[in-house]
Amino acid sequence: MIELVVTGLAGVVFGLALAAPPGPMNAIIAEESVVRGWPAGFRAGLGAMLADAVFFGLTLAGFVAVIDRVSVVRPALYLAGGVLMLYFAVGAVREARTTSSFTDADRGVSRGFRKTFVLSLTNPYQIGFWLTVGVGLLEPGTLDVLAYAPAVGDLLAGALVVRTGSPALLLGFFGGIGCWIVGYPAALVGAGRRVDAFAPLVAAVSAVVLAGFGLAFLGLGAVEFV
């Protein structure tokens, strides 16, 4: 029972580790949250989470590995993702210019779900995650997490053993992503209500992040095609 709980909590940590780092998906979630409110930010998070569920199914069926072996796919995804990010960056610039404060939020039609879902499906980094860590999560076995700690690994061996391939680990993993897409938009909305200038600032930062990743992806795609 204790091992089951530990495995579930480890899954939550893995899910948060995938969802939390700054990047294009979180930029879109942030923009939607401060411009249109928490429901829009949550829906944007659901789009990214659904894409992970799709990759989970493809990894389970072995399709992700097949896709990765086709040499033209990865650079094509880089280019497609880069173009989409630049397109979404233009929209974020528009939001930054027209949103004067958080009190203007909850306006317009939210397209955050479609943005994050499509962008996630064209994200080679996400595919890379499911080809490496994702495969490890799915394969039945055990992972002695602390045994790999530098210097003290031998002393801590056996202290934190996670059962991979376990439903508890996978439920915890998607539970961790769920915690992020609920809490992250809520934190942004809470901050935005206290500071009127927060909404246009976040939209502007989102535009910069999307444009930066977009240009980087286009560069990587061009290099790989060459």
Q: The pTM is what?
A: 0.79
Lowest mean pLDDT among 93-102, 125-134, 181-190, 217-226: 93-102
Q: Which residues pair with 164 in a beta bridge?
A: 141
Counting Cβ atoms within 10 Å, is residue 155 exposed (0-12), middle (13-18) or buried (19+)? exposed
pLDDT number for residue 183? 93
pLDDT number for residue 222? 80
Over pLDDT 70: what percentage of the chain? Answer: 79
Please provide the DSSP assignment of 170-205 as one string.
HHHHHHHHHHHHHHHHHHHHHHHHH-TTHHHHHHHH
- Alpha carbon 136 to its chain's center: 18
Q: Are 29 and 44 in contact (CB under 8 A)?
A: yes
Q: Which residues pair with 161 in a beta bridge?
A: 144
pLDDT number for residue 43? 94
The domain ranges of the chain are 2-225
Hunting for tokens 């045994």 — which residue is that? 147
pLDDT tens digit string along 162-220? 777 788 888 999 999 999 999 999 988 887 666 666 677 777 888 888 888 788 878 87
pLDDT number for residue 103? 47
Q: What is the mean pLDDT of the chain?
A: 79
Between residues 163 and 8, which one has the greater pLDDT?
A: 8
**Nearest of 7, 10, 49, 13 to residue 28 by alpha carbon:** 49
Answer whether residue 24 shows pLDDT above 80.
Answer: yes
